[in-house]
Amino acid sequence: QPRNTDGYDYANYHTLNEINSFIDMLVAENPNLVSKIVIGQSYEGRPLNVLKFSTGANRPGIWIDTGIHSREWVTQASGTWFAKKIVTDYGRDPALTAILNKMDIFLEIVTNPDGYAYTHTSNRMWRKTRKPNSGYSCVGVDPNRNWDAGFGGAGASGYPCSETYRGPYANSESEVKSIVDFVKSHGNLKAFVSIHSYSQMLLYPYGYTSTPCKDQSELHALAKKAITDLASLYGTQYTYGSIINTIYQASGGTIDWTYNQGIKYSYTFELRDTGRYGFALPANQIIPTAQETWLALMAIMQHTYNNPY
Amino acid sequence: RENFVGHQVLRIQPTNEEQISVLRSLAEKHDLGLDFWTEPVSVTKPVDVRIPFKVLQPIKIFLLENDIQYSIMIQDLQDLLDEEERVMKTRSA
């Protein structure tokens, strides 16, 4: 085990325990900047850990989560890299420092810990939560179809054995409900970025309806800026747009709900796609993926900082 | 631990709406055990699907019969996962 976060191998995949140890080390090393919040428990009783980066009280916040689909390991690995990047750059990078002097950043590195643990122990291809479905042998719900935004509509399955099973009712999954409760109780989140992999897309609401969201032109322009910044590092080309126009109709999705809660800068990423591995990217892709994604995240965070609402 | 020996991930490129419809109907057949990594939505987006070994040949024949083009993105998924695990352990060590 590494003794500190400098000794952590960011270019390797890690188990849930290793990531949780990393979280605790990061908090211990940066007590004036980082704290850990437990926003709830997973179905199997694991803590839902969120890192809070904060330099003051009662600040507006930016939320980032990685890996709600457990098998997309490059997202959790990128989230770990982001956490270290934030503590490294605070006080050095003027843009991030300015943001953190005015806003908090919340980062949930392992959004679906039961699923993530399961991918390490039993089934590398596991994607959903691990809650049993009454009357079926198939386990789990797609947590990105379980939000109360067009829940139950087209673009999600009502069949528990489907990979896109929406669950019996909105927020049925504690992994989702815990975030919902946190967002509502916080009440002042200004940006919400949910990170998935793969296929190189940056998407904004809506997924459940073809009606454009009222901020579409601004979100579209910001997405263009973010993916341009992202591409400046390694030339990785992203597509961008609303979920329904860019991929497909999907109901019950995360950012549709957050947008409807009033969080204007709601985005979801689909990370790097080499065309060879799908979401099972080799570990040597972790750092380039995280580095380029960070540039896009910074674009979104800076815009949020510069455009208070 | 679940084993994925012989599973392949095919990258399928539909060329018209009819082929997308065929692929959608395939995705509805849950008993086949297909795992769609990307879903059939439009001719501009490839469809990636993990196919268990036991249905690999029938699915390939089905695609050929429907004139649907594909390439093999991952030849043997378990090989990839074994390599992933080997790298994890080596780097940890």
Percent residues over pLDDT 70 in chain B: 100
In angstroms, the CA A219 to CA A102 distance is: 22
One-letter amino acid for residue A298 of the chain: M
Tell me how many residue pairs between chain A and chain B have CB atoms under 8 A apart: 60
Residue among B45, B46, B33 at smallest CA distance from B7: B33
Element (H, E) at A39: strand A34-41
- Please determine, for residue B67, whether its predicted confidence score (pLDDT) is greater than 90: yes
CB contact under 8 A, A277 and B36: no
Residue among A173, A145, A178 at smallest CA distance from A159: A145
- For the segment A77-89, the average pLDDT, to the nearest whole number, is 98
| C-alpha distances out from residue A173 to A70, A111, A192, B15, Å | 14, 12, 19, 38
Report chain A's mean pLDDT, rounded to a whole number: 97
Both structure tokens of A255: 């950012």
A9 touches chain B (CB under 8 A): yes
Confidence grade of residue A13 (pLDDT, cut at 50, 70, 90) = very high
What pLDDT does residue B72 have? Answer: 98
What pLDDT does residue A2 have? Answer: 87
- Please determine, for residue A26, whether its predicted confidence score (pLDDT) is greater than 90: yes
Report chain B's mean pLDDT, rounded to a whole number: 96
Q: What are phi and psi of A76, to 5 degrees?
A: -65, -40
The chain B residues in contact with chain A (CB within 8 A) are 1-2, 4, 9, 11, 30, 35-39, 41, 45, 48, 50, 73-74, 77, 80-81, 83-84, 87-88, 91-92
Both structure tokens of A152: 């139950």
A278 touches chain B (CB under 8 A): yes
pLDDT tens-place string over residues A97-133:
999 999 999 999 999 999 999 999 999 999 999 999 9
Taking contacts as CB-CB distances below 8 angstroms, the residues of chain A near B77 are: 280
Percent residues over pLDDT 70 in chain A: 100
Strands A34-41 and A47-53: antiparallel
What pLDDT does residue A195 have? Answer: 98
pLDDT tens-place string over residues A286-304:
999 999 999 999 999 999 9
Long-range Cβ contact pairs of A218-224 (< 8 A, separation 24 or more): A218/A264, A219/A264, A219/A265, A219/A267, A222/A265, A222/A299, A222/A300, A222/A303, A223/A267
What pLDDT does residue A1 have? Answer: 79
Nearest-by-CA chain B residue for A118: B1
| C-alpha distances out from residue B66 to A30, A125, B13, B43, Å | 59, 28, 12, 15
pLDDT tens-place string over residues A41-72:
999 999 999 999 999 999 999 999 999 999 99
**What is the ipTM score, two decimals?**
0.96
pLDDT tens-place string over residues A142-171:
999 999 999 999 999 999 999 999 999 999
What pLDDT does residue A171 have? Answer: 98
- Please determine, for residue B93, whether its predicted confidence score (pLDDT) is greater than 90: no
A125 touches chain B (CB under 8 A): yes
Percent residues over pLDDT 90 in chain A: 99
Cβ atoms of A150 and A209 within 8 Å: the answer is yes
- Please determine, for residue B92, whether its predicted confidence score (pLDDT) is greater than 90: no
